Chain A
């Protein structure tokens, strides 16, 4: 046990866990099968999703490309891409990371793993049926909820297993403090079924009438990002950063402020997608205000993470986990402040209905969340398989391909989107100009898709080699360089 400084004694809950190493190993082993199931299926959908996205991207500049068949039309590939990455990749990766963190932070071996294995099977079945349903022409064209009505109940059953399991784990956790990552996971596991059930009932099974659908749609879609992916991503950052650099989170009180302000403000954000739309003015205003208030949780978390990292940034040179996680954490700050600015009506006028929004969505879901998940996987998987990542070079390639890919994508879509927005706004400019301005930037975005897909192929290949334990066992973790502080070297 490390000696406590006076300050850290006032901050009772700032260290992820205090387990003996044999207890940790036992807990990690108990999570192996369910977590690896979620991870491997997530990586499979990541590849499918990237490919669908890449084809959709090229179709936007080359409309004749693959236009013979109904199931390959842009209006089906695009929602298939979105749902494959949202439910197949991001949610499954998030659930996998969440399960592992829960076991570690509840400080007990994972129990009832059969529940989770069934959940993984049902979840993937649901995504599979849903994506095929979209391609077959049963898409509902309700954004983020395109899966046909026969696919969503399968996902819901899968989720119910996970929810029941989470309640059991919390119930049987070892007494002691509840670490900040657990607040976020607890909230996310509660919010998601509520969100998903509400949206399914009111939009798919018993659709409500008229423009109220738009309100429910964007309340749902924005909260899937804000109250499902974001808390899981932050839970991972709150765990990984202190773990890798070996020091506690800077401030317990900032953690509390960040958590509660996120819970309150994020849930009200959705209507900023519909500024100017057919809704009572107060609903839009409430969402604009809440979006701008997001400044508080975002800056709070940014300060907290930055102060934790301070003096340890050299660890980014050697730790893959930290490099991906810190990239994600920094992007979280950028993308959230960008999102707040896009809700200001005068700026929204420019960016609404343009590629700028698409860039923003990718920055959030990819630059923040997916990078966070990659970082967590680099930490978790060796602890489950008892086999280190075979190649630091492969991890380096993965990082640079996807980091440059996402920056190129968001950069091009943002620039092109602003030009497109200016053209769409100016009454003197024809509609054609909005296309002419956007097209070259869409080509660059198409190229960025190749970088991302290549990065994912490297990652998936590396993961497969590791899972199958091909090649010689590696001594010690795969790091980019010699750690500057060897005692803290935990990837």
Chain B
């Protein structure tokens, strides 16, 4: 192999094959997919997210939630995801149309979050959990995200958005309260928006195992 042009051609073509297959093809096939109109309500599946949740994706990215939490439900028998209650059905390409970026994840050090908005619809639960995870789940290895919250002295009436029910070592002393920053509010809005419980024809719900 002494002819560089030939080596170049081979090196170019072998790599181009995977570029076409794994980049160009999904660019057109998946990248141009559209949400499905919902004839009953005039809305779409997946539904569009409120602006605060869109901002919350950036907080999720900035703090690296994806390194411990996946967002995908795989079908049986490849996995037991559905049996374990991660979601009623397999997630498919259309489910991710609104995500930017797409947090599929490769680790499950913590639970999958595909449907966390269904499992935990309470915003205060999320704030409490982000502020001091171990008081919600004592065996949790999630770090505290206290830096997304502000502790302040109560001026007259307690703030309406103060986090309720804090009890751990970082709970506010009497006369003080913990309020979420804009980032924490956005992050929680995003977590609450994670619901893949709408129907999609390409991913029917499998019958529930007894």
A is bound by B: yes
Q: Which A residues are closer than 8 A to B by beta carbons?
A: 13, 59-61, 63-64, 67-70, 73-76, 78-79, 137-143, 170, 176-178, 183, 186-187, 190-191, 194, 198, 202-203, 207-216, 219, 223, 227, 256, 260, 263-264, 267-268, 270-271, 273-280, 283, 286-287, 345, 349, 352-354, 357-358, 424-427, 431-432, 434-436, 438-439
Question: Is B36 part of the binding interface, using a Cβ–Cβ cutoff of 8 Å?
Answer: no
Q: For the complex formed, measure the closest distance between the CB of B184 and the CB atoms of chain A, giving whole angstroms.
A: 12
B23 contacts A by Cβ under 8 Å: yes
Q: Are B106 and A186 in contact (CB under 8 A)?
A: no
Instruction: Give the complex CA separation of A186 and B147 in angstroms.
Output: 48
Does B208 lie at the interface of the complex (its beta carbon under 8 Å from any beta carbon of A)?
Answer: no
Q: How far is the CB of B170 from chain A (nearest CB, A)?
A: 10
* A357 with B106, Cβ < 8 A, contacts A227-B15, A256-B1 known: yes
* A–B pairs, 8, beta carbons within 8 Å: A141-B61, A191-B11, A208-B31, A216-B22, A276-B74, A286-B22, A353-B70, A425-B79
Which B residues fall within an 8 A CB radius of A? 1-2, 4, 7-8, 10-12, 14-15, 17-19, 21-23, 25-27, 29-33, 60-68, 70, 72, 74-75, 78-80, 83-84, 91-97, 99-109, 111, 133-134, 139-148
User: Complex formed: what's the CA distance from A279 to B4 in Å?
Assistant: 37
Name the residue of chain B whose CB is nearest to the CB of A284. B78
Q: Are B62 and A139 in contact (CB under 8 A)?
A: yes
Q: Quote the shortest CB–CB distance from B47 to chain A (angstroms).
A: 15
B143–A177 touching, CB < 8 Å: no
Q: A139-B62, A178-B1 are in contact. Are A434 and B15 (CB under 8 A)?
A: no
Q: Beyond A64-B143, A73-B64, A267-B15, list 9 extra A-B contacts (CB 8 Å).
A: A64-B144, A141-B65, A141-B101, A208-B27, A210-B97, A211-B93, A212-B26, A215-B22, A216-B27
B83 touches A427 (CB 8 A): yes
Contact (A263, B11) CB under 8 Å given A76-B64, A210-B31: yes
In the complex, how many angstroms separate the beta carbon of B46 from the nearest chain A beta carbon? 10
Q: Are the C-beta atoms of B64 and A210 separated by less than 8 Å?
A: no
Contact of B7 among A61, A186, A210, A214 (CB under 8 A): A186
* Distance of A170 Cα from B2 Cα, bound (Å): 12
Residue of A nearest to B107 (CB): A353
Q: Which chain B positions have C-beta within 8 A of A432?
A: 139
Note all chain A residues with C-beta closer than 8 A to B74.
275-277
The answer to whether A219 touches B18, judged by C-beta atoms less than 8 angstroms apart, is yes
Of B10, B139, B143, the contact of A67 (CB 8 Å cutoff): B143
- Complex Cα distance, B3 from A176, in Å, reads 10
CA separation between A75 and B148, bound complex, in Å? 14
In contact, B64 and A202 (Cβ under 8 angstroms): no
Chain B hits for A208, CB < 8 A = 26-27, 31
Q: With A138-B62, A186-B7 as given contacts, are A278 and B108 in contact (CB-CB < 8 Å)?
A: no
In-complex Cβ contact of B2 among A138, A177, A353 (8 A):
A177
The answer on a CB contact under 8 Å between B79 and A276 is: yes
Q: Take A73-B143, A279-B26, A357-B106 as given contacts and tell me if A264 and B17 are in contact as well, using a CB distance cutoff of 8 Å.
A: yes
- Interchain CA distance A76-B171 in the complex, whole Å: 25
8 residue pairs, one from A and one from B, having the closest CB atoms:
A75-B64, A276-B74, A267-B18, A141-B61, A353-B108, A212-B30, A212-B26, A263-B14
Which of the residues B93, B97, B100, B133 comes within 8 Å of A207, measured between beta carbons? Answer: B100
Measured between alpha carbons, how far is A63 from B140 in the docked complex, in Å?
9
B96 adjacent to A276 (CB under 8 Å): no
Chain A residue numbers with a CB within 8 Å of B25 are: 283
Interface pair A207/B104, CB less than 8 Å apart: no
In the bound assembly, the distance between CA atoms of A276 and B108 in angstroms comes to 15
- B2 contacts A278, CB within 8 Å? no
Of A13, A210, A345, the contact of B93 (CB 8 Å cutoff)? A210
Closest to B140 in A: A63
